[in-house]
Each structure stands twice: as structure tokens, then as C-alpha cells.
Structure 1
Amino acid sequence: MEHVRASIDEKIVCVRAEAAVTEFSRQLEERGINISEFEKTIAETVDSILIFPESPGSFAELGYFSADISIAKKILVAVKQQHQSGSFLMLGPIRLISKNSIFGPIPIALGQIPETQMQVISERLIGESKRKRPYKRRFELKKWKDYSRQETLCILDEIVDLAEVITEPDLLQLVLDIFGYYDATQIRLQLALLTATDRVLRNDFGDIFARKRSNGLIGISNKMERLALCAKWHEFYQVHMPEALEELARL
């Protein structure tokens, strides 16, 4: 994470999947969800995925992702020497991913001092992200279900950024009023992802969110209009829900 963050600007966001899972597990309403569904949501949302398989669980995850070509094509695998055995359970998924991945050939073999290969991994990930994905894309108003996972993530980030502080019921109502029907579980998954990337701050119960980083993933050209909207929303919460502001102030 440090190697990647040291080489890029804030428009490219890194997240450790385990951190996002931890954030999501704080949602009492979602405790029973299949964790593979969350992993798939993360995989569908991000531009690239870096996996260091070294346990039965991580190799099983590799096999799960290798079966989905849309996910496999954005995976980069780095494997320590001792895990490059002849086992099909280990090498089969890696070979399938290598066949479809934009980062091929893979895997990257990690030696006795893995840190020496981190720069190579960082450059390959960042280079592909900058080459394949332009920073700016036109935003169009559509139904929530018609947006991609990346687009809904950016919209949620922008809502919290504009509001500065917002409760989950208010956020869900806002999405419903503007974009129509939504999947609450998917929204909670993506809010956990934003929290894990340090873009959003949340309270212990996970039902109040606040802006943590102000560089929105969606740019709004009229800055005065943006500031006026932020001020109006903050004033509303000061009058009608001061306890939400007080709770976040204690974090």
C-alpha cells in the first residue's frame, strides 16, 4: 500500500479488502451476508486487484475470481517461491487469470525479500490504471440500477462530500428520491469501502457518515453553488439533528 500511495495522486485510491470487510461487519443488518458477495462487489468496483495468495483461503478466493473473466482481467498475482508448487489448486487459477489479465504474464515471483519487487508491482498497477482509465468521465442522470459499481461508489462519495454529515436513512432516502430503487446491502457495502479508503468517517453503529477527505471523485464546476449547498445541509442538521454532529465530533 505504501509503495503504491507514494507514486500516485489522490485520484487513484487504494484499499485493503480486509479493512473493508471489517467495516462492513459493523453493520448489524448485514451480519448474515455471504462474504464472497462482498468480495465480488469490491472486485467489480475497483480498476485493478492485487492478490498475494499464501493460504488455502486466499487460493480458494483466487479460484473464485478466476471463473469470472470480467474480474480476472484486472487481477495481478504475486506469489512467494514456496507457493509455486505443481498443485493444480494453486497453479490452475493463476494460469487462467494470466490468460485473461491485462497485467500478464503473471504471476510475479516474490523472492526472499519481497519488498524488492514492490516497486515493480506498483509500477505495473499504476501504469495500467493511468493508461486504461481517464480521470474525467461525463456524469449522466440515470436510474440507480443502470449505473456501474464504480459509478454508484462515486455518487455515494459525492453525496457524503456535499452533505459533510448525513445519516444512513437520509442518504438512502436521497438515493431513492433522485435515482429510484436501490439495493440497501450494496450501498452499505460501498459505504464500507469508502470508509476503508479513509474517504468517509462513520460512527460506531455505522448509521452516521461524515466527509473525511474533500477531493470528491465527481467534480462540480460551480464551487459557490457547492459551498452554498454544503452550508444549507449543515444548517439543517444543526437545527434538526444536532446529536448526529455531536456524536461524530467525539470520534
Structure 2
Amino acid sequence: MSVALVQHASGLEPEDNRRLLGELTPGDVALVVLPEAFARDFGPPGSDVSGYAEPVDGPFGREVARVAGDRSTTVVAGMFELSADRDRPYNTLVVRGAATADYRKVHLYDSFGYRESDRLTAGPVEAVTVPLAGFTLGLMTCYDLRFPEQARALVDAGADVLVVPAAWVAGERKVEHWRTLVRARAIENTAYVVAVGQPGPRYSGHSMVVDPLGDVLVEAGEESAVLRATLDPSVLVEARRTNPSLLNRRR
């Protein structure tokens, strides 16, 4: 399965970000992944983003679907979705194209001095997976990466590719944490990980694809970039034969 990782910053104007979907989405790959909060950036820390929340079939979701259809691909991108609490929307991933799903971020970023839960509502604790091109995608968002039990729940639900859009805030040790955690989730689950972040300087960049034995297939720096990689099912099969750690579990 061919994938494209679009490491590009979203801005504060939703209309501009919708336009970028068409400009940045390639049409010669099976899966295109854009970052968390691509419909509209978070803004200054602690900002009220409720005024930018939409239903998943609102302007942003419809544009993701349109672009995916026009390019004959599947697109994953982040947005703020209306919830029952109108002041605290969901942080949601929409998947549109040959596959369709919605994932509401479970673990809110109440860490490193931030309080995402003050402005957003946590999604239900469930494993959201979707089949695509012979693989099964498992959806996570940014801070979810720090919770290995969520990745394992996705793999137990059949995922063999973990897709992780992010807006990984820059700072001391943050790139090292990101790279270590992305590789760890791949190695411990013998799964591909497709992790796409927003670029610097505010965020950490370093979008990457890691294979089921922990090899980095492609990695960006801090600047805007579009990366490509190919996920090979035979590599997945061989990795799980060589390291059958999922089968060897005793808990």
C-alpha cells in the first residue's frame, strides 16, 4: 500500500485550510495522512476552539471526501467536531475515500503545562479500525501515542497499521520522545506506524513511517514536507513470524 505523509501547518482560517487539502493531496497513492487539527490550528495555548467545531459531515469533512474522491485515494485529517458540550468539542480524525471512519481523540493533552481537557471533550474509549488495501488501519491522535494500551487494543482489534496524526508541540526532549514512542509502538505490536505531525517551529515535525521491526522507512525534519512510503504485507507477515510476541503474551 502506497502512503503519503503531508507534514504541513494548518492556519487559523478554516477556509484556507480546506483549500490546502486540494493543493497538498497527491493522487497516486492509496492513503494520504495529514496532521491533527488540520481544519483549524489550536491557536494560542488555551484558546477556545468551540467556534470552529463542525459536524463530521460539515464543510471540512465534505471537502476531505471530495478531494479523496477526486484523487481516488483515502484521506485522514484532523478537525474539531461538535459534541454534546458545545463549549468543548471533540478532537476528531475523519477518514474519507475508499474507507470511511471517524475517531475522537481519547487521551487529551493534559501534560507539559497544557490542559487540552479544559477546551475539548475526550472521545469514547474504543478501538477504531478500518480496512484499506489489504491492511487494517488503527486510528490514534498525538498524545494517544504515549499510551501503549491503546495501540495494543487497536492491534487486538485487527490493526496492522497504526495511523497517528499529531500536532506534537516542540520543546526539550520532544523530538526524542516522539521518535522513541513511534518506534516502540511499531516494535511492540509488530505493526507499521504512520505518524504525521505539523512542522516547526511551533510543532516538532519529524513525520515518519516505521516498519513492524522498528526500521524507519522515511522521516522528515522540522520543515514542511510530503513524504512517501510503501507498506508491504509480506514484511508484516515475516516480522510477526520472526518475532511472534503477540502470540507469546501470557496476560
Which structure has more relative contact order (CA 8 Å, sep 6+)? It is 1
TM-score (norm 1): 0.28
TM-score (norm 2): 0.28
- Greater helix share, structure number: 1
